[in-house]
Amino acid sequence: MKLIDFENHFYDQCLIDALESRTEPPYYRKDTDLITWSDAITMPQGPLLEKLLQVGEERIALMDTLGIDCAVLSCSPGAEQLDPAESAAICRRTNDVLYQLVQRFPGRYLGSAILPVKDVPAAVAELERCVKELGFVAWHTHSNYGETAPDDPRYRPIFQKADELGVYVYLHPQLANASRVDDCGFPVAGPGLGFTMDTVTTLTRMIVGGLFDELPNLKVMLGHLGEALPFLLDRMDNRLKFLPNPKAKNKQDFSAYFHRNIYVTTSGNMSPEAFECTRRVLGLERILFGSDYPFEDASDMVEYVKNLPLGEQERSMLYYKNAQALGVHV
């Protein structure tokens, strides 16, 4: 049975070089092997950085071992936060490298574009190039860009272009800007809690801001089985019904957008209980496999989904059939 990995990360060396040349966050220091994401948060790299840079034969061999037929490759955080001109150059270089990987390993990799979002016209043009010329299937972005976030109306033209081109948007977590959990350390401020808090806030603001009413065919994908939102949806819907909210531009309940516009992946969440909650609330047809490699052990993720109590037809939906609704055919 085919298996498509919808969250598989990489770096090109050009971004690491750019981060190493900086004096303000985000920056990388080879002597300490740390990326400083903010004044309060640093992230040790160690073997992680080496794995992010290994996207040739080593990555393909791992996929072969685990039975992953195809992976959607996406650039890890950093490029979007650079100054606009540098970001444009790094994003274009990274996308070109990704295209070369897709060509080098036909059928094994698909491309997800990274864009210089702080220059909106340049981002729109780069997304069009990536889809029409390079054949990419998605735009990979993050829950914030430092002082701004994707829900800001200034970025609406990029979403409009994604909708026009028929590609989905992967909304990946990023460290929040000046979060109250910063002083709890990276494991809490990042993957333990902060990532979810920031992504939930960004997607909620997208919904309340009317993004999916303006673009009813837009598809957005979340990791971590929906960033806890399946658990929260009923209460969010309930409060919308009973409490007036003149600021809300959304015309439907929150859950309506999850059944029409939102998909989720298994990436980074190996809880059977969380999977069952997501399945019951959203339906299996909204869930896809994601390994979150190398931030998670891909072998653990594959073993986790293998052990889920699914029939053969259900497993095929999770593994590859649900991808067809996103225009991804392998």
Characterize the bridge pairing of strands 262-265 and 220-222.
Answer: parallel
Whether the predicted pLDDT of 316 surpasses 80? yes
- pLDDT, position 244: 81
- pLDDT, position 220: 98
Write out the residue range of the structural domain in which residue 242 sits: 4-326
The CATH number covering residue 87 comes to 3.20.20.140
Whether the predicted pLDDT of 219 surpasses 80? yes
The set of residues, in sequence order, having a beta carbon less than 8 Å from that of 44 and lying 6+ positions away, is 33, 34
Residue type, 76: S
- pLDDT, position 245: 85
3-state helix/strand/coil string of the chain: CCCEEEEEEECCHHHHHHHHCCCCCCEEECCCCEEECCCCCEEECCHHHHHHHCCCHHHHHHHHHHCCCEEEEEECCCHHHCCHHHHHHHHHHHHHHHHHHHHHCCCCEEEEECCCCCCHHHHHHHHHHHHHCCCCCEEEEECCCCCCCCCCHHHHHHHHHHHHHCCEEEEECCCCCCCCCHHHCHHHHHHHCHHHHHHHHHHHHHHHCCHHHHCCCCCEEECHHHHCHHHHHHHHHHHHHHCCCCCCCCCCCHHHHHHHCEEEECCCCCCHHHHHHHHHHHCHHHEECCCCECCCCHHHHHHHHHCCCCCHHHHHHHHCHHHHHHCCCC
- pLDDT, position 240: 84
Which tens digits make up the pLDDT trace of 4-43?
Answer: 999 999 999 999 999 999 999 999 999 999 999 888 888 8
- pLDDT, position 143: 97
- pLDDT, position 185: 87
**pLDDT (average), residues 320-324:** 97
Which tens digits make up the pLDDT trace of 220-265?
Answer: 999 999 999 999 999 999 988 888 888 899 999 999 999 999 999 9
- pLDDT, position 179: 81
- As a whole number, the mean pLDDT across the chain is 95
Residues involved in catalysis? 292
**pLDDT (average), residues 99-126:** 98
- pLDDT, position 44: 86
- pLDDT, position 38: 85
**pLDDT (average), residues 302-315:** 97
Confidence of residue 115 (pLDDT cuts 50, 70, 90): very high
The set of residues, in sequence order, having a beta carbon less than 8 Å from that of 144 and lying 6+ positions away, is 150, 174, 175, 176, 177, 198, 202
Which tens digits make up the pLDDT trace of 173-217?
Answer: 998 877 889 889 888 988 999 999 999 999 999 999 999 999 999
**pLDDT (average), residues 78-89:** 96
> How far apart, in Å, are the Cα atoms of 68 and each of 90, 181, 303, 322?
29, 36, 12, 16
**Least-confidence region, from 55-64, 99-108, 176-185, 314-323:** 176-185
**Half-sphere CA count of 19, side-chain side, radius 13 A:** 25
User: In whole angstroms, what is the distance from residue 296 CA to residue 5 CA?
Assistant: 13
- pLDDT, position 246: 85
**How many domains is the chain partitioned into structurally?**
1
Whether the predicted pLDDT of 150 surpasses 90? yes
